[in-house]
Amino acid sequence: MLTINLFNGLTYGALLIVMCSGLALIYGLRRVVNFAHGSLYMLGAYIGYSIAGASNFWVALVGAPLVMASLGVLLDRYGFRLLQDRDPLTVVLVTFGLLLVIEDFVQTVWGKSNLSVQAPAALNFSVDLWGTPVPAYRIAVIAVGLAVALGLSLWLRYSKVGLFVRASSTDPTTTAMQGVNTDALSAGVVGLGTALAGLAGVVAAPFLSLSPSMSSDVIIDSFVVVVVGGLGSLAGAFVAALVLGMVQSLGAVYLPDESAVLPFAIMVGILIWKPAGFAGSRT
Amino acid sequence: MSIQKISLTTVGALALGAAVMSFVSSGTVLSLLTQATIYAVFAIGVGLLLRQNGMVSFGHALFFGSSGYAVGLLLQAKAVPAEMAIVLTLAGLLLVAFAIGLVIVRVPGVSFGMLTLAVGQMFFLTASRSRGLTGGADGMNIEWPSSLFGVSMSVLTRPSSMFMLSWGTLVIVILLLTLLLATRFGSITEAVRDNEERARFIGIRTLLPRAAVYALSALVTGVAGLLSALNTGFVSPESLHWSLSGVALMMVVVGGYKALWGPALGAVVYFLAKDVLGDYASHWMAIFGVALIAVIVFSPSGIAGILDRLLLGRRLAHKPHAVPTAATVRH
């Protein structure tokens, strides 16, 4: 019993890692808290559903994030870049407007009923984990989450572009003066962040059903993660995502009455103790 | 504004409401206007926080829904008379909001918005799941007594009197806030909003004024919640949901928060537009999303700002308001 719950917690945590690293990247470079991130996740899931229906899941896994990446680049070029000198709160409200538009678009194109995506045949088996059978697909989700976490950390730490990203998120003006094209960099990073939201959507599709309400649950959980982890801290978000996944999963079993409130209670507790989040240095 | 001008505007606004009440005979139109007016009070609550603290709340539905639930539960328990229940609800809301405020106003910038969202959702989930107490997702009926403050319920809930009650409340709320913000309290909160560090240097304790503004904005929102509970006789978890907070915020931004009455204008525009757009109603989210983005990009001060510019012309250009900008909102 405990094994399967820990395992489910890990799966949801891995999904949140993919979601929140996109959110944290966009915040890091553009100082934008993207309220539409959950809707982008939903859009990615529905685009994945259509691609998977036309060909197969593996094409969707690559195709949907690519579509989302181009959308992200456009969003940065025609949205965030034009608004970069404005009050951060107004940009938050613009993303809220975007959320409404995307939600309406998804409901118009795909309807309001629940849809589902089949897990690929190659992953449609169970693995024995300490006497508990667990679906292989969920192991793959955990692998994706860890790969995203590891890949992003290595990319930011060791690649030249990663260095530029870190420099630009600390001081964009100086970075631009050193000859880095920060506009292209931001567009690329927002594209990457949006692609990650789309990837999370496609990955989630086979184990969470697609519905017009799927965005609001995940965006609120993601906010809890980035606030608890510290806005802009990727490492903080990774840890907080895993902790929240566990809290959700174990809470539902051991404290069913309080489970809904638990993540928020943790969030409030952390913020009283450390208003910038446990790994955050800036806001 | 001088006292004379304020009293004149107030009397004029009340007369306008009375005129609307007596000339509009259609019950449907009146109840639409009543709803718009109730949401105008709600939006003024959210706008007050943004105007006076520079903070965006994505969780004010918490106070809108809570006041309905609180008065509903007090009436259900039959422990106090209804008038007392209303007073207790508002006083309790003010205290609780002040306590919450002491904790959360310390969280800077956009984190604050996310935190209010989370706290609001916490209460939404609690209300949806406590079936025994609140009726869960089905909501609960509020058992109003047969008369309130000496007025018979059947008279009070007539569309025309319900409209006049809401309108009167709206006017009085704006009047009281105008008077309050003209005092030392108003200057202190503006100083704290514009530059918290500098305010601290000149010896102002910044936490208490911020929490007080938060509590005050919650109280105004709670008044709107009570009006709604009286209007519909019903409260459900939907009145606590974050999307409602988002709608209120849209009204604030579209109407413009730099003027105290801007959010109220936004609420009226929102309801009238929603009614006019009836044919496209299924796409209202996209329509309002685009409208919201357009207003923010092209007129950050909202419709109120446009009106101000049109009415006052160049006079305003030479008298800059102390409004939060990128440099002054703390982040």
Q: Is B99 on the interface with A (CB under 8 A)?
A: no
| pLDDT score of B150 more than 50 | yes
Q: Report the chain B residue with the minimal C-alpha distance to residue A101.
A: B286
| pLDDT score of B328 more than 50 | no
pLDDT averaged over every residue in chain A: 85
Q: With beta carbons under 8 A apart, name residues in chain B contacting A264.
A: 118-119, 121-122
pLDDT band at residue A280 using 50, 70 and 90 as cut-offs = low
Q: With beta carbons under 8 A apart, name residues in chain B contacting A260.
A: 122, 125-126, 129
- Residues B178-214 have pLDDT tens digits of 888 888 888 888 888 888 788 888 877 778 888 999 9
Q: With beta carbons under 8 A apart, name residues in chain A contacting B290.
A: 97, 101
- Residues A193-241 have pLDDT tens digits of 999 999 999 999 888 888 888 888 888 888 888 888 877 788 888 988 9
Q: With beta carbons under 8 A apart, name residues in chain B contacting A33.
A: 110, 113-114
Stated pTM of the model: 0.84
The pLDDT assigned to A281 comes to 58
Size of interface A-B (CB pairs under 8 A): 127
The Cα–Cα gap between A120 and A205 comes to 11
Q: With beta carbons under 8 A apart, name residues in chain A contacting B136.
A: none
Burial class of residue A278 in the structure, from the number of CB atoms within 10 Å of its CB (0-12 exposed, 13-18 middle, 19+ buried): middle
Q: With beta carbons under 8 A apart, name residues in chain A contacting B106.
A: 275
Amino acid at the residue A41: Y
Q: Is A235 on the interface with B (CB under 8 A)?
A: no
Q: Report the chain A residue with the minimal C-alpha distance to residue B118.
A: A264
Q: Can you list the pairs that B290-296 forms with residues at least 24 positions away whose Cβ atoms lie under 8 Å?
A: B290/A97, B290/A101, B291/A97, B291/B254, B292/A93, B292/A94, B292/A96, B292/A97, B292/A100, B292/B250, B292/B253, B292/B254, B293/A94, B293/A97, B293/A98, B293/A101, B295/B253, B295/B254, B296/A90, B296/A93, B296/A94, B296/A97, B296/B253
- Interface ipTM > 0.85: no
Q: Where are the alpha helices (DSSP H) in chain B?
A: 3-23, 27-53, 61-77, 82-104, 109-129, 131-134, 153-156, 159-181, 184-194, 196-201, 207-232, 242-255, 262-276, 284-298, 302-312
Q: Is A88 on the interface with B (CB under 8 A)?
A: yes
Amino acid at the residue B168: G
Residue among B56, B108, B291 whose CB faces A92 most closely = B56
Q: Is B207 on the interface with A (CB under 8 A)?
A: no
Return the DSSP state at A115: B
Q: Is B81 on the interface with A (CB under 8 A)?
A: no
Contact criterion met (CB < 8 Å) for B242 and A83: no
The Cα–Cα gap between B19 and B15 comes to 6
Measure B161 CA to nearest chain A CA, in Å: 35
The pLDDT assigned to A19 comes to 92
The pLDDT assigned to B281 comes to 66
Measure A100 CA to nearest chain B CA, in Å: 5
- Residues B204-237 have pLDDT tens digits of 777 888 899 999 999 999 999 999 998 988 898 8
Contact criterion met (CB < 8 Å) for A93 and B283: no
- Report the half-sphere exposure of B186 (CA within 13 A, side-chain side): 12
Q: Is A283 on the interface with B (CB under 8 A)?
A: yes
Average pLDDT over residues B252-262: 86
pLDDT band at residue B318 using 50, 70 and 90 as cut-offs = very low
Average pLDDT over residues B90-111: 87
- B47: tokens are 């706008």
% residues pLDDT > 70 (chain B): 92
Report whether A115 contacts A52 (CB < 8 A): no
Q: With beta carbons under 8 A apart, name residues in chain A contacting B242.
A: 216, 220
Residue among B54, B126, B296 whose CB faces A93 most closely = B296
Residue among A85, A108, A261 whose CB faces B326 most closely = A85
Interface of B with A in 263-302 (CB under 8 A): 282-283, 285-286, 288-293, 296-297, 300
Q: With beta carbons under 8 A apart, name residues in chain B contacting A271.
A: 103-104, 107, 111, 115
Query: What residues pair up with B140 in beta bridges, in sequence order?
Result: B235
Instruction: Give CA separation, A279 vs A229, A270, B176, B331, in Å.
Output: 6, 11, 43, 17
Return the DSSP state at A256: T
- Report the half-sphere exposure of A81 (CA within 13 A, side-chain side): 17
Residue among A88, A90, A267 whose CB faces B300 most closely = A90
The Cα–Cα gap between B240 and A1 comes to 35
Contact criterion met (CB < 8 Å) for B106 and A224: no
Contact criterion met (CB < 8 Å) for A223 and B118: yes
Instruction: Give CA separation, A94 vs B30, B174, B303, in Å.
Output: 33, 28, 17
Q: Report the chain B residue with the minimal C-alpha distance to residue A217.
A: B121
Mutate to test the interface with B, among A42, A91, A93, A109 (most CBs of B within 10 A): A93
Contact criterion met (CB < 8 Å) for B292 and A90: no
| pLDDT score of B11 more than 90 | no
Q: Is A110 on the interface with B (CB under 8 A)?
A: no
Q: With beta carbons under 8 A apart, name residues in chain A contacting B132.
A: none
The pLDDT assigned to A72 comes to 92
Report whether A268 contacts B119 (CB < 8 A): yes
- B175: tokens are 């009047």
Measure B60 CA to nearest chain A CA, in Å: 15
The pLDDT assigned to B322 comes to 47
The Cα–Cα gap between A247 and B278 comes to 43
- Residues A267-276 have pLDDT tens digits of 878 877 777 7
| pLDDT score of A25 more than 80 | yes
Measure B283 CA to nearest chain A CA, in Å: 6
The Cα–Cα gap between A103 and A107 comes to 6
| Sequence-distant (≥ 6) Cβ neighbours of residue B7 within 8 angstroms | none
Give the length of chain B: 331
Contact criterion met (CB < 8 Å) for A88 and B109: yes
The Cα–Cα gap between B296 and B299 comes to 6
| pLDDT score of B317 more than 80 | no
Q: Report the chain A residue with the minimal C-alpha distance to residue B298.
A: A83
- Residues B15-70 have pLDDT tens digits of 888 887 778 777 788 888 899 999 999 999 999 998 888 888 888 999 999 999 99
Report whether B214 contacts B53 (CB < 8 A): yes
Contact criterion met (CB < 8 Å) for B324 and A87: yes
Mutate to test the interface with A, among B102, B106, B110 (most CBs of A within 10 A): B110
